[in-house]
């Protein structure tokens, strides 16, 4: 049975890689339907295999299914205990959750892409990149040690560069891909240092071995090595700020909207950007031993959630609004991990994958129907032309703003509750999170109102040709809409469960208990029980719902007649509005403090090093050789008169020497 499970795991991991190779090197001149079918099957088959694997052996045993392929690193030591890092993957309840999201949502996005990219040439390249991305993401999620995770971590970074800059003919798109690549490399340095410190402290990178080593150590040991443990936590946080787009490295994600919309849905809603949240949950058993690291994680998450939400309030590009929304929602997930509610960070990771993929694909459906128009001010009334896209988008909006009963309501409110009462929670963190949630309601209702309701602001030609998209684009929207409705019921709050006579753990807590139990036990020992109550939970939930309703109604009233309704409010804020519209000018700040000085240094190095030394040597060297060979060739010309001249000059020189 174990061998059968290992074969399934191997197929799940490598089928996307096979799809990438086939599309990239074999199927280069086939029709779109063939490339799309191969690319989609390379993800859909792993999803079909993942369901029985995760809900079979992994669910029944609570332990991991492992597949060791070969020793990646093997170092013989003098003491006889060799240091080994195998290329090994495993599925437990945490990685299994990501496995189902990556392959399930990924399959829907691949199907959608067959319609969205139908007018593009060379689509084999697009599907090859998508499949390679999924393979890298599976390495990241399934790696049983930090090095295999890092391989996938770097792989998704490279693939994001390829996919964001897919339309590389436009300079802005190529620059956006490069910006994502460079920003992620900064964060990756933190991940590398965390690995080095882990080997130094614990002698291993294997997650299971790390967990055992940490569990065997006494509180006195952690007090003695608090600096090293804190450094590991902060270095992991640096990696998270890059991959999961947190302050200060979030700047790459909004620009990444330059890629095709299916790329935005796959990379920036369902998979890559959630990698940092997964890493924190995976390393939770170690992170909770550093109060400094946990508090830093919570502060960064809360600050990012609010900061990005303020920018989303005023954006006019439909994809940019969703991009800053993604940054903000990732902040909620990081906040959950920082206050010790790792299971709700994972729960929001899952619900976010559903409703944000739905919103991105819905936005792509609009963009596709309007011939790549993305300005909210040039839309309006589209729900009459595109009812499936419109109503599924409404469901996605209700889910993300936390409308009671939909997925975002449960996961978001649990995060806010633990932001107040969690082991590392504080009322200020709740206040920042609640304000960010209210901003989310405003800008998402504003977006939905301007795109789908009210009078049409489209030009006549666009309005005449606007219609609902084909089934391969609308079917994924309908499936994701259903998931956006029901997905949150895995994290029903205790107060609601108690109302219906259920006092045990909710589904997500029970599901992840085998993985997160060590972290919870450590937090209980260090911080004690959380000081929450059913009354407090109802109160915080009620305040959140009231804030959501008020901000939503305000947006409806303000924009019921179109974008003109918000102009007066914008003018009243004057310079502050322009500052937020300019995205707080963070990019300009980075340009002045980092980019321009480095570019100036690079230019001087280029002029002196490249042009002065390297090009000087390369260009002047041949000139010198040519000069010498010219002289020699003149001497050895084969002409008798030249030889006589040389003899005459030589004799004359000898006579002069002798006379002198």
- Predicted confidence at residue 361, as pLDDT, reads 96
Q: How confident is the model at residue 79 (pLDDT cuts 50, 70, 90)?
A: low
- Predicted confidence at residue 574, as pLDDT, reads 86
Mean pLDDT of the chain: 91
Given 92, 117, 144, the domain boundary residue is 144
pLDDT higher than 80, residue 531: no
Least Cα distance to 341 among 473, 349, 495 occurs for: 349
- Predicted confidence at residue 636, as pLDDT, reads 67
Return left, alpha or beta for 286; rule: phi > 0 is left, psi -120 to 50 is alpha, else beta: alpha
Residue 210, SS3 per DSSP: helix
pLDDT higher than 90, residue 133: yes
Least Cα distance to 344 among 395, 301, 396 occurs for: 301
- Predicted confidence at residue 404, as pLDDT, reads 95
- Predicted confidence at residue 658, as pLDDT, reads 81
Least confident of 125-129, 463-467, 608-612: 608-612
Please identify which residue in the block is written with the tokens 């002798």: 658
- Predicted confidence at residue 634, as pLDDT, reads 64
Given 581, 616, 641, the domain boundary residue is 581
pLDDT in tens, 394-446: 999 999 999 999 999 999 999 999 999 999 999 999 999 999 999 999 999 99
Query: Range of 40's domain?
Result: 1-144
pLDDT higher than 60, residue 456: yes
- Predicted confidence at residue 156, as pLDDT, reads 93
Strand partners, 84: 74
Q: Are residues 646 and 626 part of one domain?
A: yes
Please identify which residue in the block is written with the tokens 């945490």: 94
- Predicted confidence at residue 651, as pLDDT, reads 85
Residues of the chain above pLDDT 70, percent: 95
pLDDT higher than 70, residue 507: yes
Phi, psi of 423 (to 5 degrees): -55, -35
pLDDT in tens, 307-323: 999 999 999 999 999 99
Q: Are residues 151 and 124 part of one domain?
A: no
- Predicted confidence at residue 89, as pLDDT, reads 95
pLDDT in tens, 316-353: 999 999 999 999 999 999 999 999 999 999 999 999 99
Spacing of C-alpha 531 from chain mean position: 34
Q: Are residues 60 and 85 part of one domain?
A: yes
Q: Please state, as a whole number, how many other Cβ atoms lie within 10 Å of the Cβ of residue 467.
A: 9
Average pLDDT over every residue of 238-258: 93
pLDDT higher than 80, residue 357: yes
Q: How confident is the model at residue 20 (pLDDT cuts 50, 70, 90)?
A: very high
pLDDT higher than 90, residue 45: yes
Q: How confident is the model at residue 78 (pLDDT cuts 50, 70, 90)?
A: low
Angle at CA of residue 375, ends 373 and 377, nearest 5° = 125
Average pLDDT over every residue of 588-602: 89
pLDDT higher than 70, residue 1: no
Q: How confident is the model at residue 503 (pLDDT cuts 50, 70, 90)?
A: confident
Q: For residue 223, give every residue at least 6 positions away whose Cβ sits within 8 Å of its Cβ, in sequence order, or none.
A: none
- Predicted confidence at residue 612, as pLDDT, reads 67
Highest mean pLDDT among 44-48, 588-592, 628-632: 44-48
Q: How confident is the model at residue 34 (pLDDT cuts 50, 70, 90)?
A: very high
Our count of domains for the chain comes to 3
Q: Are residues 532 and 404 part of one domain?
A: yes
Least Cα distance to 222 among 163, 161, 267, 287 occurs for: 287
- Predicted confidence at residue 120, as pLDDT, reads 83
> Helix count (H) and strand count (E) of the chain?
32, 2
pLDDT in tens, 477-497: 999 999 999 999 999 998 898
Q: Are residues 390 and 489 part of one domain?
A: yes
Average pLDDT over every residue of 113-132: 90
Residue 551, SS3 per DSSP: helix
- Predicted confidence at residue 54, as pLDDT, reads 93
pLDDT in tens, 264-275: 898 877 788 889
pLDDT higher than 90, residue 638: no
> Helix H segments across 268-406?
275-282, 284-287, 291-312, 318-338, 342-369, 382-385, 387-400
Q: Tell me whether strands 65-75 and 83-91 are parallel, antiparallel or unpaired.
A: antiparallel
- Predicted confidence at residue 600, as pLDDT, reads 86
Please identify which residue in the block is written with the tokens 């007649």: 561
Q: Are residues 314 and 188 part of one domain?
A: yes
Q: Are residues 561 and 440 part of one domain?
A: yes
Residue 533, SS3 per DSSP: coil
pLDDT in tens, 583-594: 999 999 999 998
pLDDT higher than 80, residue 50: yes
pLDDT higher than 60, residue 582: yes
Average pLDDT over every residue of 160-169: 90
pLDDT higher than 60, residue 635: yes
- Predicted confidence at residue 80, as pLDDT, reads 62
Q: Are residues 140 and 224 part of one domain?
A: no
Given 121, 144, 167, the domain boundary residue is 144
Q: How confident is the model at residue 609 (pLDDT cuts 50, 70, 90)?
A: low
**Rounded distance between C-alpha atoms, residue 258 and residue 82, angstroms:** 47
Q: Are residues 263 and 171 part of one domain?
A: yes
Average pLDDT over every residue of 219-240: 96
Q: Which sign does the torsion angle of CA 399, 403, 404, 410 carry?
A: positive
Q: Are residues 501 and 360 part of one domain?
A: yes
The conformation of residue 492, written as its DSSP 8-state character, comes to -
Average pLDDT over every residue of 173-197: 93
Q: Please state, as a whole number, how many other Cβ atoms lie within 10 Å of the Cβ of residue 542.
A: 11
Average pLDDT over every residue of 67-81: 81
Q: Which uninterrupted H or E stretch holds 519?
A: helix 507-527
- Predicted confidence at residue 564, as pLDDT, reads 87
Q: Are residues 136 and 196 part of one domain?
A: no
- Predicted confidence at residue 188, as pLDDT, reads 94
Q: How confident is the model at residue 514 (pLDDT cuts 50, 70, 90)?
A: very high
- Say if CB 443 and CB 554 are below 8 A apart: no
Average pLDDT over every residue of 195-218: 95
Q: Are residues 608 and 566 part of one domain?
A: no
């Amino acid at each position: 049975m174990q061998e059968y499970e290992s074969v399934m795991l191997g197929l799940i991991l490598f089928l996307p890689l096979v799809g990438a190779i086939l599309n990239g090197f074999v199927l280069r001149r086939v029709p779109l339907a063939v490339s799309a079918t191969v690319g989609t099957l390379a993800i859909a088959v792993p999803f079909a295999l993942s369901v029985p694997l995760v809900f079979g052996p992994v669910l029944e045993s609570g332990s991991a299914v492992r597949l060791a392929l070969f020793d990646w690193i093997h170092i013989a030591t003098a003491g006889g205990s060799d240091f080994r890092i195998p290329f090994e993957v495993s599925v437990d309840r945490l990685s299994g959750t990501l496995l189902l999201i990556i392959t399930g949502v990924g399959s829907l996005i691949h199907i959608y892409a067959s319609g969205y990219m139908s007018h593009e040439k060379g689509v084999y390249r697009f599907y090859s990149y998508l499949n390679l991305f999924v393979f890298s993401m599976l390495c990241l999620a399934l790696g049983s040690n930090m090095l295999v995770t890092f391989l996938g971590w770097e792989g998704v970074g490279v693939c994001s560069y390829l996919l964001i800059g897919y339309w590389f003919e436009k300079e802005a798109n190529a620059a956006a891909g490069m910006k994502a690549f460079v920003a992620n490399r900064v964060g990756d340095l933190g991940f590398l240092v965390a690995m080095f410190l882990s080997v130094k402290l614990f002698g291993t990178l294997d997650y299971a071995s790390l967990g055992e080593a940490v569990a065997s150590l006494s509180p006195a040991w952690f007090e003695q090595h608090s600096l090293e443990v804190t450094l590991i936590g902060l270095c992991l946080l640096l990696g998270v700020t890059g991959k999961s787009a947190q302050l200060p490295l979030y700047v790459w994600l909004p620009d990444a909207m330059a890629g095709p919309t299916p790329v935005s849905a796959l990379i920036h809603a369902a998979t890559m950007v959630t990698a940092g949240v997964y890493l924190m949950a995976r390393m939770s058993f170690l992170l909770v031993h550093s109060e400094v690291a946990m508090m830093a994680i919570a502060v960064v998450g809360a600050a990012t959630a609010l900061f990005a939400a303020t920018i989303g309030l005023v954006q006019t590009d439909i994809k940019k609004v969703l991009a800053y929304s993604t940054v903000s929602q990732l902040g909620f997930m990081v906040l959950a991990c920082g206050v010790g509610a790792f299971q709700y960070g994972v729960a929001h990771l899952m619900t976010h994958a559903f409703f944000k993929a739905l919103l991105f694909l819905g936005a792509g459906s609009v963009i596709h129907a309007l011939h790549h128009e993305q300005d909210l001010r040039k839309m309006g009334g589209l729900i009459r032309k595109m009812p499936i896209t419109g109503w599924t988008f409404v469901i996605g909006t209700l889910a993300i703003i936390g409308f009671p009963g939909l997925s975002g309501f449960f996961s978001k409110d649990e995060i806010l509750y633990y932001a107040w009462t969690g082991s590392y929670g504080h009322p200020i963190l709740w206040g920042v999170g609640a304000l960010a949630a209210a901003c989310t309601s405003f800008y998402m209702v504003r977006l939905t109102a301007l795109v789908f309701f009210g009078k049409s602001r489209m030009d006549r030609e666009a309005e005449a040709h606007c219609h609902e998209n084909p089934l391969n684009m609308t079917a994924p929207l309908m499936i994701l809409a259903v998931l956006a409705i029901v997905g949150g019921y895995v994290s029903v709050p205790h107060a609601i469960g108690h109302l219906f006579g259920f006092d045990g753990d909710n589904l997500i807590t029970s599901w992840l208990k085998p993985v997160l139990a060590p972290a919870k036990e450590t937090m209980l020992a260090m911080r004690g029980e959380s000081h929450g109550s059913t009354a407090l939970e109802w109160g915080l939930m009620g305040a959140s719902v009231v804030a959501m309703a008020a901000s939503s109604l305000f947006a409806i009233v303000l924009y019921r007649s179109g974008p003109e309704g918000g102009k007066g409010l914008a003018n009243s804020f004057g310079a502050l509005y322009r500052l937020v519209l300019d995205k707080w000018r963070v990019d300009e700040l980075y340009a002045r403090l980092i980019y321009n000085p480095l570019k100036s240094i690079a230019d001087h190095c280029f002029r002196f090093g490249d042009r002065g030394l390297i090009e000087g040597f390369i260009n002047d060297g041949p000139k010198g050789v040519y000069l010498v060979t010219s002289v020699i060739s003149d001497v050895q010309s084969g002409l008798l008169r030249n030889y006589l001249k040389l003899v005459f000059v030589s004799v004359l020189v000898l006579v002069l020497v002798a006379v002198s």
